[in-house]
């Protein structure tokens, strides 16, 4: 935008042509791939739909395995273009956190008949506009059979997605599940624990949801945590009863890290976990957390997604 001085201000808000954007993108790709042809990081570049389309058409991306497009402005049509690109068929890690993606875009990808990008091991869609129904459709899609890490945090994810995770048979390799800052409560936890996905998890992040004593009790009583090592339930709604359930859990005996700060339990609940006789493998126990030490607990970009309080 340019300003012409001399009494009257004139603003030039002309949009660059697709050809101009293509030249700029090719230069950015050249610079980003200069050291490592397998890793392309273009985060924070104000990339939109046109730039996503240009990326999808670039044959230079055939060598890329890790693609980081976080903190941009990529909308639904850009997401679909990326998944349909033969040039990106070798990508195994895709980061699209903090973009303009909505539930429609995620559903469109889930419903593709034959997407090119089917070998993903890690998918990050955190801090977008992904709806609960879209999350449910995503985790039931047949396109993510090799996925090991899924991050749907800081979206509108709730009980529908949790229930779908408990029913799906299309995520056999999932090891890390990030559902932070959502709307999951005891009903969602009951659904989540109904299937086989949780049995393969090594890390589960349920921080900043709506987990009360009942929900935590369900997690604690579950006996098929065959692989779980890291559990995050900070900033929820449970008190001493839930804390005691964690401290007495035999099913969670494999935990090496437990994060449960910023909840409603007091000294009694904290003592039950600190002096646990069952969680004997713990190496990290976080009973107290503060915004001043963990700034990620505050979502400045999406204040409407702060954990909903009890009505």
DSSP 8-state code for residue 254: T
Q: Which of 170, 222, 223 is nearest to 197 (CA)?
A: 170
* Res 267 pLDDT > 60: yes
Element (H or E) spanning 284, and its range? strand 284-286
When pLDDT is cut at 50, 70 and 90, the band that residue 291 belongs to is: low
- 10 pLDDT exceeds 60? no
- Of 8-22, 195-209, 270-284, which gets the smallest average pLDDT? 8-22
**Residues of the chain with pLDDT > 90: what percent?**
86
How many H-runs (helices) and E-runs (strands) does the chain carry?
10, 10
pLDDT band at 289 (very low <50, low <70, confident <90, very high): confident
What's the pLDDT score for residue 18? 87
**Whether the predicted pLDDT of 1 surpasses 60:** no
**Average pLDDT in the 188-214 region?**
97
Q: What is the mean pLDDT of residues 105-113?
A: 98
Report which of residues 18 and 227 the model is more confident about: 227
Average pLDDT over residues 74-101: 98
Beta bridge partners of 150: 123, 177
Confidence of residue 290 (pLDDT cuts 50, 70, 90): low
Q: Which residues are registered as beta bridge partners of 203?
A: 176, 230
Q: What is the pLDDT of residue 306?
A: 44
Q: Which residues have a Cβ under 8 Å from the Cβ of 85 and sit 6 or more positions away? A: 55, 56, 57, 61, 116, 117
What whole-number distance in Å separates Cα of residue 173 and Cα of residue 48?
Answer: 32
Q: 3-class SS at 175?
A: coil
- The whole-number pLDDT of residue 29 equals 96
Q: Using one digit for the tens of pLDDT, what is the confidence trace for 34-59?
A: 899 999 999 999 999 999 999 999 99
- pLDDT band, very low/low/confident/very high, at 125 (cuts 50, 70, 90): very high
Tell the burial category of 233 from Cβ atoms under 10 Å away from its Cβ (0-12, 13-18, 19+).
buried
Q: Which CATH architecture has domain 26-305?
A: Alpha-Beta Horseshoe (3.80)
* Cα–Cα nearest to 101, from 79, 69, 82: 79
- Is this structure's pTM higher than 0.85? yes
The SS3 call for residue 232 is strand
Q: Is the pLDDT of residue 299 over 70?
A: no
How many residues in total does the chain contain? 311
Res 311: pLDDT: 35
The domain spans of the chain are 26-305
- Whole-number Å distance between alpha carbons of 51 and 45: 10
* Cβ count within 10 A of residue 278: 16
Q: How far apart are the first and last CA of the chain?
A: 47
The confidence score (pLDDT) of residue 13 equals 62
pLDDT given at position 9 = 52
Query: Of the candidates 238, 234, 243, 239, which has an alpha carbon nearest to the alpha carbon of residue 296?
Result: 234
Mean pLDDT of 129-137: 98
Task: Using alpha carbons, select from 147, 70, 149, 155 the residue that is nearest to residue 110.
Answer: 147
């Amino acid at each position: 935008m340019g300003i012409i001085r001399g009494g009257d201000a004139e603003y030039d808000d002309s949009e660059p042509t697709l050809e101009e954007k293509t030249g700029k993108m090719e230069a950015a790709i050249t610079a980003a791939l200069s050291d490592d042809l397998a890793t392309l990081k273009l985060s924070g570049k104000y990339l939109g739909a046109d730039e996503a389309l240009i990326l999808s058409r670039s044959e230079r991306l055939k060598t890329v395995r890790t693609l980081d497009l976080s903190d941009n402005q990529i909308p639904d049509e850009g997401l679909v273009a990326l998944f349909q690109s033969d040039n990106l068929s070798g990508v195994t890690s895709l980061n699209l956190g903090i973009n303009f993606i909505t539930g429609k875009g995620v559903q469109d990808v889930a419903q593709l008949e034959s997407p090119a990008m089917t070998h993903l091991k890690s998918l990050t869609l955190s801090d977008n506009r992904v709806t609960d129904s879209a999350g449910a459709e995503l985790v039931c899609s047949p396109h993510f059979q090799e996925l090991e890490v899924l991050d749907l945090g800081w979206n509108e994810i709730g009980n529908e997605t949790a229930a779908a995770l408990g029913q799906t048979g299309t995520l056999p390799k999932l090891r890390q599940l990030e559902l932070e800052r959502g709307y999951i409560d005891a009903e969602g936890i009951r659904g989540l624990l109904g299937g086989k996905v949780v049995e393969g998890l090594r890390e589960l992040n349920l921080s900043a949801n709506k987990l009360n004593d009942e929900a935590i009790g369900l997690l604690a009583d579950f006996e098929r945590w065959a692989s779980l090592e890291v559990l995050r339930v900070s900033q929820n709604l449970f008190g001493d009863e839930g804390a005691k359930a964690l401290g007495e859990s035999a099913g969670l005996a494999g935990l090496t890290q437990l994060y449960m700060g910023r909840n409603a339990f007091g000294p009694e609940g904290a003592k039950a976990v600190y002096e646990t006789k069952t969680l004997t493998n713990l190496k990290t126990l976080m009973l107290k957390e503060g915004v001043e030490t963990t700034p990620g607990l505050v979502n400045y970009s999406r204040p409407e997604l702060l954990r909903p309080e009890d009505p």
